[in-house]
Structure 1
């Protein structure tokens, strides 16, 4: 009896399709790994150069504009609406500070966690010279808990407790489940029922996404990204690097 040609050909076709799937998956993984290595080297380079004074701060424009090499259109100004649309975002420091830093961050991003101690030191040492604004940029494809953590931060901000809550999240970055987020609210003596209702209803979901879109429109491609008097720096800045920036802008 003659076998069905389709039946006899199905296994090879299936194997070929599976083989192509593995090739595509491998290419995607290699691309992701290459990007991760590039970003690690980039952030390390920026941190080291700022720390040892070899980063050319003269390329920073005091008037609030920075020209990104290779693109005439990529001029980021502190007046750029995508950057300064932060009326509802958490801010700390005097309104008339000589330095305004708008940070796009992701609570689950390891590079943001690495920058966290330096940001704390910056605000402790130079809080009279710096206005620091936090904006959300959750990269959900890599950090599945980032969106909800950002919403939780907004719920804490609603009660005037964003910065203690912000610190707690970065200090416990591996524990950002819904239960964890609610437990931190309890530990920080927030009004728990109000916080839980805010988080459960997704009250600030769209606002977090607006931050994300503003960041994308302003050219943000990764976290952390800092706009320092309009000048963009992508990657981790260490404590010495921030000291250099304050010395440059704060006098």
Structure 2
């Protein structure tokens, strides 16, 4: 009986302590591989030291499918591994996959403080080719035919799957555990292995289950890192709560905003992020961020950014030089890459000491996280609800430069190509000819004009861009019928009774519109200008262009 009990105890202990090796096969330019990373992190957090995730290469993308040769990029990542920065290199490659070029590996090496000469010598020597070939053979032996793919003992799962799909496969394998020792030098998100094959946790924070964090050492002060894209309504909502948190805790907490632009969702996201960084250089980041928050949903372009900079009294020359500088761009990209390395995959994300909170949660979620950081204990994010963003947007989608009647129509047709007739009033400092060219560059067709206003039409989706010019006011021209695609409810709110006189002036007025053309001729780049002089009735009086422009359809 005693012998049987001992055998059962040994079996149970082996089951509890077994480490299941999970191999992830990656191509460092693959969008699906990038998208699956949060799930991989979730698996590691959930299972803790019961699984060990190792990464092997399966490079399949070469130009023109990939930006650069994925095999060569995989070699570069292994050179980064030699200096302890494989994970950082991988995250940076995936985060910048659309912008990769042959200079990217060296740039990543510099970002992460590697010995760049050592890194380049390693890459140029070709010494990592065999490692990548070995990984490729390893993948083929397990039936891998594409990425992402996970090998869990003898079972291979190809393609993007859900957390539950992987969990089911891992749970099945853990029922018949096999202790596997990773290859020497393996570095994963949660383990670092030395040459002897001994692995230790790389993350000091103990995660309980999937959504809990155990804080054992209380802090006297709390550092809060707030990652966001300033055009996100969720980020605005979270910012309001953090301001309240600062009022409540004062000097006990320190909040740092870190730009995490999401260009896939927000137009000019990187421009806004760089502008925020440059405002910080003049100690006015908070004031600038508030300007963006106050105009969420509106067009954020160079003109709008300059207006905000003027409003908060920035040194404009210094600000513009900063926004256009390469160093600011590199800082923005470095901040985002470092965030990804720290497992920040979306906005808003708030990191309160070691507690990571994703999404816009109720105020008590942030307050409780601060209390846990100050006093220790267990924090469970699942105790709190995510809040709806619909009622938190501060302003309508159109600024005061757009007349209220026109704004009603554009709210329905913003992304449409319906033709809208407008009257554009401009300030003296812009002037008639400059305003005419602004309209022309943005796809407007000028119908007529006088010294105070220009009458023009354009597609609905082009009006917002022009409205960001300071002092410009855009009205609906009520002399024309409303677009047929708007709802009757909106049409009933438009006053068409008072027809506006579309007046011109007796004295002749002219505008010269300059249109720049760029094309190629037998592979050689060609640039030329077409100048059109129109009178105040909208008629073209003169066109100047190179005689050979007809070769390109002009």
Question: Normalising by the residue count of structure 1, what TM-score does the alignment of the two structures yield?
Answer: 0.60
Root-mean-square deviation (Å): 2.4
Deviation at 1:248, TM superposition (A): 2.9
Cα deviation, residue 76, structure 1: 5.4
What pairs up with 1:230-245 in 2 under 5 angstroms?
Answer: 230-245=354-369
Task: Map residues 86-125 of structure 1 onto 2, 5 A cutoff.
Answer: 98-125=221-248
Within-5 A mapping of 1:119-198 = 119-175=242-298, 176-198=300-322
CA deviation map 1:194-232 (0-9, x unaligned):
112222345411110001111111111111112211121
**Structure 1 residues without counterparts, runs of 5 or longer:** 1-34, 36-66, 79-95
Aligned partner of residue 240 in structure 1, secondary structure: helix
- Give me the whole-angstrom Cα distance separating, in 2, the residues matched to 1:235 and 1:153: 21
Partner of 2:45: 68
Distance 1:249 1:201, change over 3 A: closer
Aligned to 1:226: 350
Q: Does the alignment pair 1:247 with 2:371?
A: yes
Q: Shift in Å at residue 97 of structure 1?
A: 5.6
Instruction: List alignment gaps of at least 5 residues for structure 2.
Output: 1-34, 36-43, 50-188, 191-201, 206-218, 376-554
> Deviation of residue 104 (structure 1)?
1.6
Secondary structure of 1:172's partner? coil
- Structure 1 equivalent of residue 331 of structure 2: 207
Alignment CA distance shift 1:221-1:113 (3 Å): same
Q: Measured at CA, do residues 225 and 178 of structure 1 come closer, stay the same or move farther in structure 2, by a change above 3 Å?
A: same
- Correspondence 1:28-107 to 2 at 5 A: 68-70=45-47, 72=49, 73=189, 98-107=221-230
Contact 2:225-2:256 at 8 Å conserved across structures:
yes
Q: Deviations over 1:71-99 (max 9, x none)?
A: 55457569xxxxxxxxxxxxxxxxx9621
8 Å CA contact 1:145–1:177 kept in 2: the answer is yes
Cα distance in 1 between the residues matched to 2:247 and 2:340: 30
Separation (CA, whole Å) in 1 of partners of 2:296 and 2:278: 18
SS in 2 for 1:108: coil
1: CA distance, partners of 2:265 / 2:284: 27
8 A contact 2:352–2:373 mirrored in 1: no
Segments of 4+ in structure 1 off by > 4 A? 74-78
2:144 corresponds in structure 1 to: none
Following superposition, the deviation at residue 128 of structure 1 comes to 1.4
Question: What is the deviation of 1:107?
Answer: 1.2
Task: Give the deviation of 1:143 after TM superposition.
Answer: 1.6
Higher strand share: 2
- Aligned equivalent of 1:42: none
Note the C-alpha offset of 1:112: 0.8
Flag the structure with larger Rg. 2
Instruction: Name the SS for the 1:68 alignment partner.
Output: helix
**CA distance, structure 2, for counterparts of residue 194 and residue 177 of structure 1:** 18
Q: Which has the higher contact order (CA 8 A, sep 6+)?
A: 1
Corresponding residue of 1:86: none
TM-score after normalising by structure 2: 0.29
More helix by share: 1
Partner of 1:51: none
User: How many aligned positions are there?
Assistant: 169
Deviation for aligned residue 1:189: 0.9
After TM superposition, the structure 1 stretch with the greater mean CA deviation from structure 2, 68-77 or 119-128, is 68-77
SS in 2 for 1:128: helix
